């Protein structure tokens, strides 16, 4: 897939709409983590240096348009003004904030842009038509610019007005962030070096059904840990105490195990406790977990098994933690897997966003992977083999 990138566009003096992902965590109007703003800087700085007139658009949080009271509270909470202030500290150019998503104020600020300057538009979700890809809204926004750059990987799986509507009208290209995501995910999923090992964790089988189905076709081995493993253990005939279990997915897990022909690798022991807490006693169970005990991490034998299964892997895709990594006592499995992947020689190692990305970063392994995705939902859909509408719409070279 050879999509145009921002370097294929002649941007000097042109109004370039860039869909960024500035959906940052805010507490009382203060940004608690600016990673997503930092991730967009290579594209923004390139456009600044090459004399584009830059119009940045992003969503922030969720806004409920069905209930006027909730809508107003959502707008107040998810105002982009703090993002504009932070961006202004990070770039070497003028940053204007426009507090509205349409109308005279926006049009005037866009018209006043000089080469290399930026206007950050208010939260795209202030508009009811954004998530519906309203054609009138998309046409209005497109009328503000001459070119479109997609650089919000966290939103490319959504066909919204700002991700799909605008580029269906304007000449378009991928920004550096999305280009890097597509290249790395494609190398790991579409054209992997073998052997390829997929590691899946997280709470529920139901969240990962399509991923398991697709990866069983692609991977040489699929290692399963985390809460979702207990549904598979029940499918094998074990008892799991009060561990997380999707009883309605046991038959599905059985069918996966049958189809897998030994490709699926499951934990052989579990660190369990009687309560969802670090304070209570924990013990390791092999085989059945006793009544009243819940599994919170993979056990030491599982860690050794997973390490052994990873030996020699040339491509590893990881999505989902092995246990309750937020509690240090139950982060051992996740950290051990993280470390084992990071030490594989000459392997392409990709984390598909979400909790596993948060775990790797929290545990200090950010620099040790080939790629950590910035979009949990988008990378998950890529792993499912789905077409991502915000990338599909971008023009080919």
User: Catalytic amino acids?
Assistant: 36, 204, 354, 377
Instruction: Using DSSP bridges, classify how beta strands 264-265 and 221-224 pair: parallel, antiparallel or unpaired.
Output: parallel
Which residue, among 162, 306, 339, has the nearest Cα to 221 in the 3D structure? 306
Which tokens is 257 given?
């195990």
DSSP string of 31-66, one letter each residue: ES--HHHHHHHHHHHHHHHTT-EEEEE---S---TT
Query: Phi and psi of 272, rounded to 5°?
Result: -125, 160
Quick one: how many helices (H) and strands (E) in the chain? 14, 17
260 pairs with which residues across the strands? none
The answer to whether the beta carbons of residues 376 and 352 sit under 8 Å apart is yes
The answer to whether the beta carbons of residues 12 and 37 sit under 8 Å apart is no
SS3 readout for 130-143: CCCCCHHHHHHHHH
Cis peptide before 261 (omega within 30 of 0): no
Query: Phi and psi of 389, rounded to 5°?
Result: -60, -35
Residues making up the chain, counted from first to last: 397
174 pairs with which residues across the strands? 5, 150
Three-state secondary structure call for residue 94? coil
Give 35's contacts (C-beta < 8 A, 6+ positions apart): 24, 374
Give 384's contacts (C-beta < 8 A, 6+ positions apart): 210, 211, 213, 214
C-alpha 105/C-alpha 108 separation (Å) is 5
Three-state secondary structure call for residue 203? coil
Which residue, among 30, 19, 22, 291, has the nearest Cα to 161 in the 3D structure? 19
């Amino acid at each position: 897939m050879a999509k145009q990138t921002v370097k294929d566009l002649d941007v000097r003096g042109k109004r370039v709409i860039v869909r960024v992902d500035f959906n940052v965590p805010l507490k009382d109007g203060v940004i608690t983590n600016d990673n997503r703003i930092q991730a967009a800087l290579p594209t923004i700085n390139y456009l600044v240096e090459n004399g584009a007139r830059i119009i940045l658009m992003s969503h922030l949080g969720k806004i409920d348009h069905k209930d006027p009271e909730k809508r107003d509270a959502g707008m107040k909470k998810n105002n982009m003004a703090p993002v504009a202030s932070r961006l202004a500290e990070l770039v070497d150019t003028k940053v204007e904030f426009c507090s509205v998503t349409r109308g005279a104020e926006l049009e005037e600020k866009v018209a006043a842009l000089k080469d290399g300057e930026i206007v950050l538009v208010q939260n795209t979700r202030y508009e009811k038509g954004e998530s519906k890809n309203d054609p009138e809204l998309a046409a209005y926004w497109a009328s503000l610019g001459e070119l479109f750059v997609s650089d919000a990987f966290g939103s490319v799986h959504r066909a919204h007005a700002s991700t799909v509507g605008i580029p269906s009208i304007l000449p378009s290209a991928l920004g550096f962030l999305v280009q890097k995501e597509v290249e790395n995910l494609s190398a790991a999923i579409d054209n992997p070096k073998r052997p390829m090992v997929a590691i899946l964790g997280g709470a529920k089988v139901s969240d990962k059904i399509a991923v398991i189905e697709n990866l069983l076709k692609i991977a040489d081995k699929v290692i399963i840990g985390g809460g979702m493993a207990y549904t598979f253990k029940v499918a094998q005939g074990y008892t799991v105490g009060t561990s997380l279990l999707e009883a309605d997915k046991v038959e599905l897990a059985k069918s996966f195990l049958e189809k897998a022909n030994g490709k699926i690798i499951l934990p052989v022991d579990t660190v369990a406790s009687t309560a969802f807490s670090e304070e209570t006693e924990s013990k390791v169970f092999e085989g059945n977990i006793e009544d009243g005990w819940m599994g919170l991490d993979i056990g030491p034998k599982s860690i050794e098994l997973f390490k052994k299964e990873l030996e020699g892997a040339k491509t590893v895709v990881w999505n989902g933690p092995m246990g309750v990594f937020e509690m240090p006592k139950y982060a051992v499995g996740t950290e051990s897997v993280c470390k084992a992947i990071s030490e594989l020689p000459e392997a392409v190692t990709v984390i598909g966003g979400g909790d596993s990305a948060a775990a790797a970063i929290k545990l200090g392994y950010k620099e040790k992977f080939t790629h950590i995705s910035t979009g949990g939902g988008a990378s998950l859909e890529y792993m499912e083999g789905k077409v991502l509408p915000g990338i599909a719409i971008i023009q080919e070279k």
